Amino acid sequence: MHIWLKRAFNFGGGNALMLASFVMIGAAMLSLVLEMSSSAEPWRFYASFGLLIMILGFNIVFANIDDIAPERRTRNYALYFIFSALCLLGLFVVARQAAGFYLIFMFTAQAFVVMPFRWALIYTLSFIAAIVGVTIWLSDQVDLYSLMLSLLL
């Protein structure tokens, strides 16, 4: 465990993206606690926080994905990105607000770093299309215009 922590928190090289993702997930958790803890139904808050914890767990596994099964690297990356995207879409549905919206950019940045360009582009476009679809589906309870503007900017 100590060796992993030493390697994980080395601020140089490829660990910078991993550390940035941990900080972004932590910021999303803090944002969720500050925005939802008193105003939302308890089940929405706990389900949303649980989804963020799952995303954090996926990122911890992602940090060590090459050590787990190097012969299945492409499949492992695909599973990571699919499950993380599903958790984030679930977060948007359960929270009914844009909690963790900036995690979209974290996932797409990770995809472009570790996947070939065309697969990362397909992932990004399909992920954004799914988010726009969920946003339109929830448009009566989510501020659709500010969410779309932040997507475009």
Distance CA 137, CA 119 (A): 27
Average pLDDT, the chain: 76
pLDDT (average), residues 54-65? 80
Tell me the pTM. Answer: 0.73
Place of tokens 């996926």: 58
CA distance 8 to 29: 21
Instruction: Report whether 25 contacts 62 (CB < 8 A).
Output: no
Residue 56's contacts (CB-CB under 8 Å, 6 or more residues apart) are 22, 25, 29
Q: Is pLDDT of 89 > 50?
A: yes
Question: Could you tell me if 81 and 123 are in contact, meaning their C-beta atoms sit under 8 angstroms apart?
Answer: yes
The mean per-residue pLDDT over the stretch 89-111 comes to 79
- Percent pLDDT > 90 in the chain is 0
